[in-house]
Amino acid sequence: MERRKFIGTAAVGSLGIVSCQAASTPINSEKKDFVLKNNINHSVCHWCFGKIPLEDFLITLNELGVKAVDLMGPKEWPLLKKYNIHSTMCNGAEISLTEGWNDPQYHEVLIKNYSEMIPKVAEAGYTNLICFSGNRRGMDDKIGLQNCIDGLSKIMPLAEKHGVVIQMELFNQVNHPDYMCDTSAWGIELCKGLGSESFKLLYDIYHMQIQEGDIIRSIQNNHQYFGHYHTAGVPGRHEIDESQELYYPAIMRAILATGYTGYVAQEFIPEREDKIESLKQGFLICDV
């Protein structure tokens, strides 16, 4: 199951919270036992919990003391403001994950979309707006890189003016075959080519573990190009506990050591029946 299969679908279902004990971090369902240090600014992608209606999900986040959610567009912003939840990564200007800035045929539409969305993001009090490279479709990576620079440079002055950061997400080739921005090295060259603090990479730890590994050293060496982080367990994009191969406390400490003050968003798909307990566990594992 992938995010692209959830985008645009209506959330249905009911919220169920059942007490349980997680495999690596014991958690009780009572609120007093869930206390965050908040050295890490926590967020979460609602699409992973799509069977829980967004409003119920926001109520639960408030109860947990988590004040942010990822991948929200203008239609969701009023509900977020109702519950005082911050939109840590906005969307809604992109065409799709596969049709992006590497192909000039989409530039006219993308420039229009982002030129309209950037002021809206700023006016709503938000900062980050996602974008995608698109698929190769036989295109050479260097040509695609230059195409991205040519297109994105048209919106950088507007993003800089409004204090909005455009963030291109890194994906792996297993889940997203043919996607161009599939290595941190390619993304970093794009950042260098644009030369703007209003353009960063959304460093998805799950994707980059699959694609290139060496997560902590990559963060240490290249953190200045990373504007946002996503988590998930490898393999399978499930819980980030000891059932998978990444040790997230060490990764979070590495992120903190860079001086990062942005958000880390949970983007795993819970396998357990009690999805909220899995989410609480994820927050606590990352709460170093």
Q: Is the pLDDT of residue 5 over 80?
A: no
pTM of the shown model:
0.89
State the amino acid at position 282 in one-letter form.
G
Residue 90: the pLDDT is 98
> What's the token pair of residue 47?
């699409």
Q: Which fold has domain 41-286?
A: TIM Barrel (3.20.20)
Q: Is the pLDDT of residue 166 over 80?
A: yes
- CB distance 130 to 145 below 8 Å: no
**CA atoms lying within 13 Å on the CB side of residue 30:** 2
206 falls in which pLDDT band (50, 70, 90)? very high
Each domain of the chain, given as residue ranges in start order, spans: 41-286
How much is the average pLDDT of 29-41? 77
User: To the nearest 10°, the Cα dihedral for 230, 52, 9, 122?
Assistant: -50
How much is the average pLDDT of 243-249? 97
Mean pLDDT rounded to a whole number for the chain: 91
33 falls in which pLDDT band (50, 70, 90)? confident
How much is the average pLDDT of 192-210? 98
How much is the average pLDDT of 7-27? 36
Q: Is the pLDDT of residue 96 over 60?
A: yes
Cα–Cα distances in angstroms (integers) from residue 217 to residues 38, 156, 189, 212, 255, in the given order: 24, 29, 18, 11, 10
Residue 227, φ and ψ in degrees, nearest 5: -105, -5
Q: Can you tell me which residue has the tokens 């960063």? A: 200
> What's the token pair of residue 113?
């979309």
- Contacts of residue 127, defined as CB under 8 A and 6 or more positions apart, other chains included, come to 121, 163, 164, 165
SS (H, E, C) the chain: CCHHHCCCCCCCCCCCCCCCCCCCCCCCCCHHHCCCCCCCEEEEEHHHHCCCCHHHHHHHHHHHCCCEEEEECCCCHHHHHHCCCEEEEECCCCCCCCCCCCCHHHHHHHHHHHHHHHHHHHHCCCCEEEECCCECCCCCHHHHHHHHHHHHCCCHHHHHHHCCEEEEECCCCCCCCCECCCCHHHHHHHHHHHCCCCEEEEEEHHHHHHHCCCHHHHHHHHHHHEEEEEECCCCCCCCCCCCCCCCHHHHHHHHHHCCCCCEEEECCCCCCCCHHHHHHHHHHHHCC
pLDDT tens for residues 61-79? 999 999 999 999 999 999 9
Residue 19: the pLDDT is 32
32 falls in which pLDDT band (50, 70, 90)? low
**CA atoms lying within 13 Å on the CB side of residue 153:** 12
Residue 40: the pLDDT is 96
